[in-house]
Structures are given as C-alpha cells and as structure tokens.
Structure 1
C-alpha cells in the first residue's frame, strides 16, 4: 500500500494528489558538450539561486539517518523532495521537516522490495512535481548472522530490499528520465560490498550487487544523459551502528586511519555533489566515504 502527503494540508493517497496536481516545473540537466566547463545551465529551467531549483528528487529510506540527511540537503538546494519508508509516522515527520526548510515535500509509505510500490512511488512523484530528476536508492536493511547460522529468510529479505529493490526503483525511475533525456541516479552501496564483512554475507553480497548494477546501468543510460553513480559509506553514526558495544567500536575504529566514525551529513554531501551540475561528467563511479577503512 502506498500512502502519501503532498505539501501543507494535503493528505491522502496518490489519487488525491492527482486532484490537486501542481503545475509541472521546468528543470532537468542539459547535455554538456566537448569543451564545456560543466553542465551548469538547465534545459529551459529557471533558478532562484539554488543549485537544484526546479528539480525533483526521490529518496528511498529517507525518514532517518543518511536518507533524511540527503533529503534535507537536496531540499536546501531547492529540490522538491519525495521521501519514502515503511513507517507511516516517520514518513509524515520527515516530510514535515523538509517543508520547514521551505521546500515542497511528499511522503510516501512504500516497500522498496515490491514492484507495485516502486512504480506507484515514481508515479506519485511525477504526478505531484511534473518530473523526476534525481533518484536516491538509499533504503536498506540488515539481518546479520554467521553464514552457517543464517536462515534462508535472512538472506532473502536483505537481497529483496537491498538489491532487488534498487533494481526495481532504478527501472521505474529510468523510464521517466529517459523520456526527459536527463536524470541522476545515486545508489547507496557499502564498504562491505567492496571488502566483505564477517557475519554479513547477505548484506555484503547485496551491496556488491549494487556496485555491478550501478556500473551496468551507467553504461546503458548514458545515451539519455542519465548519470548513475554509487556512494559506499563505511562506519557511520546511524541507528544501525548505535547498538555497537564500546569495546567493539574501539576495535572497529582501530581499522580506520582517521580514527573516528563518519557523520550522516558527510555522506549526504557526496550525494549532493553527484546530484548537482558539478558532476555532469561523472558516471559509473563508486565513491567511498569511509575514513580510509577501505582504499
């Protein structure tokens, strides 16, 4: 089921949004030509001085942690932002928080592992804001366990959300972006996907799959002026790491040259760059944000 919230005072399903459809905004990314100093202009867009003015973005898993930090930065840069998650209260709170920054916000309750929810999420964004310029595939789960103790369900749930869900969202979003002939897709992978991690065979395999998916879709979608990249966080202060014991934390930090955990905004700033005009010549790349944990 997909529930939504569009702007102040507008509650209900995506169908309710269609009855109050805002005038579509002009935006997008122009095609940079050889010799350009960057794709700074917008294809017919207007700007109020903010880098992403006139553009719209979806952030899956955008209700807390890294996802919410990303949504906030994109909104600060002028984008209309759709946040999705499974918890209705958190979705609503995130949308309200983004609205306090002065941006248009839409909160959608959706399960990224379900094709119907992914398609409805993209359609709701397009109906509400007229286009889709930025897709951030951030939603993810963990079901950590040693390999020989891992249940089939632990494997399947992580693969369904963390890999299949990224595929489903990318496919749905790419169809809109191909018609626009522009777009940015940023997938959240992990250091674990590059180096592996004991007790995370499912998570590491899914995140490694996201890396392969990112590179393949970057090659496929370049023809339509769509850049696809991934960001690989390391040890970041989030809900996922909050339960780590002090002893375990100290052991982990001994492996990090910078000797500290990262903050969610430090990850979000990299995503902000990839969504902006300065990344017009960047595609198929995996950018690690890990304090040197993996080089």
Structure 2
C-alpha cells in the first residue's frame, strides 16, 4: 500500500491521458486528487471518493483563476504534478509557427500559469511540492522533435528558478525526466523504431508506472530535495 505522506491535495494536470492517466489510480490512494483535463473528460476513468475531475484551459489565466476560486476550500497543502503535454513532430525546416505556439502553450505556458496561480496558496500554507514532468528528448535531442525537446528542457530552468525563489516558504520544485515506458507514444511507433530505442536502454526493458509514482512519493516526502532533475530512464 502507498505510504501516507501528510499532503492534503494533489493537483494533477493532464490527468486524462499519457502519464497523468497512468499514475492517477495510485495517487488517489495517497490523498485527495484534483485531476485537471481540457479535451477529454476523466470522471468515468476512476471511481474514488478522493478524486475530482475539473475542466480547465491551462493556457488561459482566467480559466485557472476560476478553478482556484471555485476550489479554494480544498486547495490546501498542495502537491502540484504537471503532466499536461503535447507533442507535434516535424523537421524544423518544415515546422509551422502555429504548431510551435500550440506546443509551447501546453508544455511550458500552462505549467507557468498553473504554478503561478497556486503559489500564493503554497506560500500562505508554508508548504508546497511542485513536480514538473520532462522527457529525455530534451537532453538527448531527437529527429523531428526539436521544439518538443526545447519545451521540456525549458522546464528545468523554470523549476530551478522557482526552487531558489520559494525554498524559504517550505516549497520545493523538482523535475522528473522520463525515458521510454510501457504506455503512451512508444506503442504507436514502428517495430524498427521500438527496437532502436530499446537498444539504448542498458536493461533492454521499458519503464512502468510504479517507477514514476515512487519518485513522486519520494519528492512529496522530501523537504531537502529542491531544484533537482531526477532521470527515470533505465540508465539511458
């Protein structure tokens, strides 16, 4: 069973798909979870008294303000897990400016706006955990994924700045950088590309959900891990 860590609410962005959907069932065993979604409703995905799904446009500061206003009674002692992400591939020479803007809106601007909106509550409580989900695509680089990698690397700079600014208020900000997992985008790749990616992993196996959840629990419990980037990639 997951260990209770004393948090009051976990705010999980991107709860309807990808990493967010995979870790949701484990997070509700730890504390109350507010799962934020935009395009795909998630209420039907999980049945738990600890779970509330809320539709929020994370690229709109007004939508975020409304979310905070409507949920202020339960937004106390917050762990904020940023899983909302988009990925539009393409060689840079052909990449559309509109695709760049859309990608950065979801992968970076949304992270900034939601963190900014919840920080005053964390400061008032004297406690907060901010966890940004990044990708090895940022560190390694990948053909057709330069904008995506740029957005994920930018999270590291954002997180380290937040860590230095708000540590005195009992708030930590860290990044978990993910490799290749049993779910999500890996499963839509060709067999050839899958084999090439597996060859990069020393253990020659994909990660599973528990590795991500274990890291989140560790960061929730740790007050002296701050401004760090933790790679969960099997040794890539």
TM range (shorter): over 0.9
Structure 1 residue 130, shift from structure 2 partner: 4.8
- Counterpart selection for 2:140 from 161, 177, 195: 195
Q: Which has the greater radius of gyration?
A: 1
TM-score with structure 1 setting the length: 0.75
Q: Following TM superposition, by how much is the alpha carbon of 1:236 offset from its aligned partner in structure 2, in angstroms? A: 1.6
- Unmatched segments (≥5 aa) in structure 1: 1-48
For the residues of structure 2 that align with 1:54 and 1:136, how far apart are their CA atoms? 13
1:184 lines up with 2:129 in the alignment: yes
Residues 74-124 of structure 1: CA deviation (Å, up to 9, x unaligned): 2212x11000112343x2223xx151xxx4221111222222222333334
- SS of the counterpart of 1:187? strand
Aligned ranges for residues 4-43 of structure 1 at < 5 Å?
Answer: none
Structure 1 stretches of 4+ with a deviation exceeding 6 A read none
Question: Which residue is equivalent to 1:44?
Answer: none
> Is contact 1:66–1:268 with CA below 8 Å preserved after alignment?
no
Tell me the SS of whatever aligns to 2:28.
Answer: helix
Normalising by structure 2, what TM-score?
Answer: 0.93
Q: Provide the residue aligned with 1:18 in structure 2.
A: none
What aligned pairs does 1:84-99 form with structure 2 within 5 A after superposition?
A: 84-89=36-41, 91-94=42-45, 97-99=46-48
The alignment status of 1:116 with 2:66, answered yes or no, reads no
Of 78, 81, 91, the residue aligned with 1:146 is: 91
> For structure 2, which runs of at least 5 residues remain unmatched after alignment?
none
Contact 2:16 2:40 in 1 (8 A): no
Distance change >3 Å, CA 122–CA 138, structure 1 → 2: farther
1:132–1:173 contact (8 Å) kept in structure 2: no
- Aligned alpha-carbon RMSD (Å): 1.8
Measure the CA separation in 2 of the matches of 1:113 and 1:164: 6
Q: Would the aligned equivalents of 1:65 and 1:264 in 2 still touch at CA under 8 Å?
A: no
